[in-house]
């Protein structure tokens, strides 16, 4: 029986991006096959965790690696590990008052809600957030100013969710961290380059397995051996509440292998696929359509449609069947964006036709 019918769910056309609210991404047959192998066999799980980490570390060029159940779990386990420094008592008593060095500094403009607040992951880790700079600006000096004897790490969030203007770069933050003998932890959840930040010298980099990598629900922690080991120990403490299954561990390994061989869709390919979609969108009445690059500078291109009543139109798109989810971050500016990474050309045509119907209904109502 059709899964949508069975549960009374609406099919979804995802023009939003790698969004958790829609199930993030689709896995390839190769990844699904690895998940099946994982699901239908037993393993010595501690060994599976260590050996898949070692395998991925070699493949990517990291000292070590750890597969966790999400980037969020990665943030929590890594920071808890840095607070506990491998202390066995801390693993099972993560919030012990015996440990008082718990401050993690991040730029105020990075204190975002990516679907859940970064703050919550710090709280789970037992970290005390210390914010640096201002909502619109953070310099290396402002970051350094917040360092105290209680500081254990600096956290940098590389994301379109964060404030982009007047922000120190990753290299700047790294310099501050290393000048003060602190590790720099980078949340690169939705980033696509698995090597770049390690090569820069970042101590720990955290990715979301289902975003750019298009793996199953999972997270990937890369970086220095000590920090990865400390994070791994957390599997016997806070990490148990965020346990990943063997099927998704093996699924993520297959997804990384495939990702490193074929890579994500290039910006050039997206532009080529966007051209006919944009031409179709331009046939709609009273719209201005253009191609825009990702706000965080990733090699991702989208169609941006300026239209009256943008929020209302998005709502109508979502409420139809199938539900069409555009990208709505700029709706308050009257812009609807369409991310085509998960779209077929037939779905693009469906989107244009639905928009035409909605616009016509709007104009007859008025
Ligand atoms: C998506 C995202 C996360 C969380 O990733 P999960 O794997 O869903 O936990 C964390 N940080 C940023 C910046 C994100 O975009």
Residue 357 has pLDDT above 90, yes or no: yes
- pLDDT of 309: 95
Residue 1 has pLDDT above 80, yes or no: no
**Average pLDDT for the chain:** 96
Domain match, 189 and 277 both: no
Per the domain annotation, does 32 fall within a domain? no
Of 160, 186, 211, 213, the one to substitute when testing ligand 1's pocket (max ligand atoms within 8 A of C-beta) is 211
Domain match, 270 and 203 both: no
Residue 363 has pLDDT above 90, yes or no: no
Nearest CA residue ID for atom 11, ligand 1: 189
- pLDDT of 366: 61
Residue 216 has pLDDT above 90, yes or no: yes
Domain match, 232 and 107 both: yes
Final residue in a domain of this structure, among 197, 231, 262: 262
Q: How far is the CA of 212 from the centre of ligand 1 (A)?
A: 11
Q: Which residues pair with 186 in a beta bridge?
A: 156, 205
Secondary structure (H, E, C), 291-354: EEECCCCCCCEEEEEECCCHHHHHHHHHHCCCEEECECCCHHHCEEEEECCCCCHHHHHHHHHH
Q: What gap in Å lies between CA 330 and CA 306, rounded to an integer?
A: 10
Domain match, 129 and 87 both: yes
Per the domain annotation, does 34 fall within a domain? no
Q: Which two tokens stand for residue 202?
A: 């970042």
Q: Which two tokens stand for residue 269?
A: 């390919």
Final residue in a domain of this structure, among 244, 262, 280: 262
Per the domain annotation, does 28 fall within a domain? no
Final residue in a domain of this structure, among 262, 297, 315: 262
Domain match, 269 and 254 both: no
Per the domain annotation, does 29 fall within a domain? no
Per the domain annotation, does 195 fall within a domain? yes
Q: 90-138, pLDDT tens digit by residue?
A: 999 999 999 999 999 999 999 999 999 999 999 999 999 999 999 999 9
What's the predicted TM-score (pTM) here?
Answer: 0.94
CB 168 within 8 A of CB 198: no
Task: Assign 297 a pLDDT band (cuts: 50, 70, 90).
Answer: confident
Q: How far is the CA of 40 from the centre of ligand 1 (A)?
A: 29
Quote the number of domains for the chain.
2
Q: What gap in Å lies between CA 253 and CA 56, rounded to an integer?
A: 7
Domain match, 156 and 232 both: yes
Residues with C-beta less than 6 Å from any ligand 1 atom: 20, 70-72, 114, 157, 159, 161, 187, 189-190, 208, 219
Of 17, 158, 190, 206, the one to substitute when testing ligand 1's pocket (max ligand atoms within 8 A of C-beta) is 190
Q: How far is the CA of 353 from the centre of ligand 1 (A)?
A: 33
Q: Which two tokens stand for residue 135?
A: 């909502």
Q: Which atom of ligand 1 is nearest to the CA of 157?
A: 13
Peptide bond into 27 cis (omega under 30): no
Lay out the sheet containing 151-157: strands in order across.
64-68, 219-223, 204-208, 184-187, 151-157, 103-107, 128-132
Domain that holds residue 323: 3-22+265-365
Nearest CA residue ID for atom 14, ligand 1: 189
Q: How far is the CA of 118 from the centre of ligand 1 (A)?
A: 9
Closest by CA position to 263, among listed 341, 338, 186, 206: 341
Per the domain annotation, does 33 fall within a domain? no
Residue corresponding to tokens 């031409």: 279
Of 17, 19, 20, the one to substitute when testing ligand 1's pocket (max ligand atoms within 8 A of C-beta) is 20
Domain match, 317 and 251 both: no
Task: Assign 41 a pLDDT band (cuts: 50, 70, 90).
Answer: very high
Per the domain annotation, does 37 fall within a domain? no
Domain match, 156 and 272 both: no
Buried (b) or exposed (e) across 334-348, using 16+ Cβ within 10 A? ebbbbbbbbbeeebb
- pLDDT of 365: 73
Q: 135-190, pLDDT tens digit by residue?
A: 999 999 999 999 999 999 999 999 989 999 899 999 999 999 999 999 999 999 99
**Residues in contact with 192: Cβ distance below 8 Å, sequence separation at least 6, in sequence order:** 212, 264, 298, 299
Q: Which atom of ligand 1 is nearest to the CA of 72?
A: 9
Average pLDDT in the 308-328 region?
96
Q: How far is the CA of 211 from the centre of ligand 1 (A)?
A: 8
Give the total residue count for the chain.
366
Domain match, 158 and 81 both: yes
Q: Write the CATH number for 336.
A: 3.90.1150.180
Domain match, 316 and 171 both: no
Residue corresponding to tokens 């009273």: 286
Q: Which residues pair with 36 in a beta bridge?
A: none
Of 187, 197, 296, 327, the one to substitute when testing ligand 1's pocket (max ligand atoms within 8 A of C-beta) is 187
Q: How far is the CA of 156 from the centre of ligand 1 (A)?
A: 13
Domain match, 164 and 284 both: no
Q: Write the CATH number for 47.
A: 3.40.640.10
CB atoms under 10 Å from CB of 13, counted, come to 23
Of the chain, the percentage scoring pLDDT greater than 70 comes to 99
HSE on the CB side for 203, CA within 13 Å?
A: 25
Domain match, 193 and 58 both: yes
Per the domain annotation, does 58 fall within a domain? yes
- pLDDT of 296: 81
Q: Which atom of ligand 1 is nearest to the CA of 159?
A: 13
Q: How far is the CA of 336 from the centre of ligand 1 (A)?
A: 23
Buried (b) or exposed (e) across 106-121, using 16+ Cβ within 10 A? bbbbbbbebeeebeeb
- pLDDT of 264: 87
């Amino acid at each position: 029986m059709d899964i949508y019918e069975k549960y009374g769910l609406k099919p979804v056309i995802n023009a939003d991006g790698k969004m958790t609210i829609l199930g993030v991404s689709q896995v390839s047959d190769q990844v699904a096959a690895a998940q099946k192998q994982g699901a239908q066999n037993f393993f010595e799980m501690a060994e599976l965790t260590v050996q898949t980490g070692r395998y991925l570390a070699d493949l990517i060029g990291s000292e070590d690696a750890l597969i966790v159940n999400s980037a969020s779990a990665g943030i929590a386990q890594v920071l808890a590990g840095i607070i506990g420094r491998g202390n066995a008592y801390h693993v099972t008593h993560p919030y012990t008052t015996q440990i008082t060095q718990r401050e993690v500094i991040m730029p105020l403009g990075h204190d975002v809600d990516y679907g859940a607040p970064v703050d919550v992951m710090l709280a789970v880790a037992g970290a005390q957030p210390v914010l640096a700079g201002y909502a619109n600006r953070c310099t290396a000096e402002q970051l350094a100013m917040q360092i105290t004897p209680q500081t254990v790490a600096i956290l940098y969030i590389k994301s379109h969710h964060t404030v982009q203007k007047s922000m120190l770069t990753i290299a700047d933050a790294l310099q501050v961290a290393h000048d003060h003998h602190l590790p720099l932890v980078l949340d690169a959840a939705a980033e696509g380059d698995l090597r770049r930040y390690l090569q820069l010298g970042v101590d720990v980099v955290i990715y979301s397995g289902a975003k750019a990598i298009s793996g199953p629900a999972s997270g990937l922690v890369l970086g220095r051996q000590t920090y990865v080991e400390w994070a791994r120990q957390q599997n016997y403490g806070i990490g148990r509440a965020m346990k990943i299954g063997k099927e998704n561990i093996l699924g993520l390994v297959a997804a990384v292998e495939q990702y490193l061989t074929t890579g994500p869709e290039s910006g050039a390919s997206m532009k080529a696929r966007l051209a006919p979609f944009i031409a179709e969108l331009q046939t709609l009445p009273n719209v201005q359509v253009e191609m825009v690059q990702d706000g965080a500078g990733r090699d991702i291109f989208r169609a941006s449609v300026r239209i009256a009543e943008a929020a209302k139109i998005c709502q109508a798109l979502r409420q139809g069947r199938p539900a069409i989810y555009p990208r709505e971050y700029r709706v308050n500016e009257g812009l609807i964006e369409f991310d085509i990474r998960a779209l077929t050309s037939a779905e693009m045509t469906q989107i244009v036709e639905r928009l035409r119907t909605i616009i016509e209904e709007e104009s007859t109502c008025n």
